[in-house]
Copies of this chain bind each other. A is one copy, B any other.
Amino acid sequence: MSSRKKLPPPPLTWPGRMEDGRRVLRYVDALSEAVALEMTRDEKVFLFGLDVDDHKSIQGSTRGLLERFGKDRVFTTPLSEDAMTGVAIGAAMAGMRPIHVHIRMDFLMLCMNQIVNIASKARYMYGGQVKVPMVVRSIIGKSWGQGAQHSQALHSLFMHLPGMKVAAPSNAHDAKGCTIAAIRDDNPVLMMEHRLLYPTEAVVNEGAYVVPPGRSRVCRFGRDVTIVGVSNMVVEALRAAELLSEAGVSAEVIDPIWLAPLDTDTIIESARRTRKVLIADNGWLNCGASAEIAARLAEALAGEGPIQIKRVGFAPTPCPPSPELENAFYPNPGTIAAAAYALAKPDAPAWAPDPAATKLAYQLQFKGPF
């Protein structure tokens, strides 16, 4: 993880190499590489969804797949997300391994009936007679004027469902490993990607590997406060941790990677040491991922003695496009650092880092629209 931070700020020639020879790859390319490897390995894997085969190739994340695997295995669909989800489920029940792609997570609301009432329950309510090895890829569009319907991160709706798995990779390495794990999983898996992470780079091994569910990663060790980040909030929390260290606070940063099944043991272990936990979610708080993590922490640790828990996430509003409002809508390294500082030093005067230091390269790089 921390290797990424050593990269020179301007992007490397791509695919780039670290000085020690290791390859770096962008998140977006890691996604297509993962699918290409799996489609090569297993002819039952196919990829479909609106616009997966056009020249923009889902912001580049399906680039090259049509050319390589042909239109029988890589194809667009009508605008019929509800039925197409059913089609994916049926194909999966018949032994295929569909990957159904949605360019925005918001559109999954059209798929809820099939996902909730069939995909997540089929194995159980059919007494183990079927399995539904289906991957649903979805992308969060951080707003940049996109507005209320093109910016939602609705992962908690899926975390709520027994029978669903949910991955939210925060970096190129995990993007590839989670995608491969998702494709090989015999259950429906929701992949929640983040558009603004697409250009970010990390060391990514060339062959196939999996980042399976069940293990959160400690991305940075620290003593004073634990910060749990979800999706791109991991990146922002890492930046916040740097800022905090300048202010004399040592923050541990944890990335759950998979949200369902969710490994809270790693988080609990860290919290048992720091007894101060900030959860930064890339989503709304109410009944969100942050609520679940906080609840589990409280169940596990609050009886043992004081433990401070705080959540930050989207403002409790739809997402507005106007830039000032939109900035205030999202957590950022500054607000994360300030909240963590307040937890770590409850008696010190409030502190927040210089706003100029809280802008992240991967955000500035982006120009709308997408």
Contacts and interface: CB of A to CB of B under 8 A. Distances in A.
A160 B149 contact: no
Nearest to A294: B295
For chain A, the bracket of interface size reads 35 or more
B121 A117 contact: no
Most interface-central of A124, A156, A260 (chain B CB within 10 A)? A156
A109 interface: yes
Interface stretch (A42-50, A181-189, A247-255, A310-318): A310-318
B310 A299 contact: yes
Contacts of A289: 287
A101 interface: no
A313 to B, nearest CB: 11
Count the copies.
2
Contact of A149 (B117, B154, B161, B304): B117
Contact of A309 (B288, B291, B298): B298
A299 B318 CA distance: 24
A110 interface: yes
Interface string A288-331: 11111011011101111111111100001110100000000000
Interface in A324-346: none
Nearest to A287: B156
A116 interface: yes
A112 interface: yes
Given A109-B116, A320-B124, A308 B303 contact: yes
Interface in A29-75: none
A162 B317 contact: yes
A318 B156 contact: no
A159 B316 CA distance: 11
A16 interface: no
A113 interface: yes
Nearest to A115: B109
Contact of A299 (B112, B301, B309): B309
Contacts of A303: 306-309
A120 interface: yes
A309 B286 contact: no
Contacts of A161: 284
Contact of A112 (B109, B147, B320): B109
Interface in A245-287: 260, 262, 284-287
B157 A157 contact: yes
Contacts of A291: 287, 291-292, 294-295
A57 to B, nearest CB: 25
Contact of A318 (B163, B287, B309, B320): B163
Interface string A126-160: 00000000000000000000011100101011011
B302 A302 contact: yes
A268 to B, nearest CB: 13
15 contacts: A116-B152, A117-B149, A121-B148, A121-B318, A125-B320, A160-B287, A162-B284, A162-B317, A162-B318, A287-B291, A287-B292, A290-B295, A295-B295, A299-B309, A302-B306
Given A287-B287, A291-B292, A298-B309, 5 more contacts: A106-B116, A110-B113, A157-B287, A292-B295, A294-B298
Interface of A: 82, 106, 109-110, 112-113, 115-117, 120-121, 124-125, 147-149, 152, 154, 156-157, 159-163, 260, 262, 284-292, 294-295, 297-299, 301-311, 316-318, 320
